[in-house]
Amino acid sequence: MKNMLWCGLALLAAGALPSTVEARGERPTVAVLEFDNQSGAGWWRGGVGWELAGMLSNELSATGSFKVLERDSIQAVLEEQNMAASGRIAAGTGARMGKITGAQYLVTGTVTAYEEETSSTGGGISFGGVSLGGKSEKAYLAVDLRVINAETGEIDYARTIEGHAKGGGMSVGLYKGGFGGTLASQNKTPAGKAIRAALVEITDYLDCVMVKQTSRCMAEYDAKEDARREKTRGALDLDD
């Protein structure tokens, strides 16, 4: 009778323990593919898609919650399967790619929106083509995120992640008809800050839904998604 009681208590205790990946000490193995761009952002240049993938890989690695495959281990497979290294996975190829690379999940991202706003705060002066004045800057970035199960080829997680950034203060600039460069030149700009904010938010979201899986963090991201959809719906109503 005592043995049965202890067995029952053991089963209850086992049932009370969290069954999350974090509790089991497992780390999902992920491969972050080249980001795609549908936003028309002026800072997007050749190679930026892989730069964003590398930045997200670093963020995921830094959490300690994921095993992240290096770019070299997946790029050759992408080229072999003729996917143009775009981060878009054709139907039925996700499982095969996962088997070849050893990834359990393939993470893809598409930048679908980018908006930037710069406004003067007044008090500016100009002399000889050099401007000295105050300005306020804002940037917004939206990334459509998909996580593909490399065993089944199905999309396990999908979410639109947003990044917001603000900048301001006194600025000195010389007008030369525009400027160019890589993402390094965006490091301290509102665009760069919005990119980083979106990547950190993606990392936190994946850590929540793939590792921690707690009701609290899931509820927080559900609330963010509801707010985003409501805001988008309101914008569409205004357009009508």
Per-residue model confidence as pLDDT tens digits over 128-187: 444 444 455 889 999 999 999 988 888 999 999 999 988 644 334 333 333 233 687 787
Domains in the chain (CATH in brackets) are 26-116+143-165+189-239 (3.40.50)
| Token pair 């930026």: residue | 48
Give the span between the Cα atoms of 174 and 239, in whole angstroms. Answer: 37
**C-alpha neighbours within 13 Å on the C-beta side of residue 84:** 5
Q: What is the 3-state secondary structure (H, E, C) of 153-183?
A: CCEEEEEEEEEEEEEEEEEEEECCCCCCCCH
Per DSSP, the residues of 110-137 read: EEEEEEEEEEEEEEEEEETTEEEEEEEE
Ranges of residues in the chain whose predicted pLDDT is under 70: 1-25, 79-100, 118-136, 167-182, 234-240
CB 112 within 8 A of CB 144: yes
> Does pTM surpass 0.85?
no
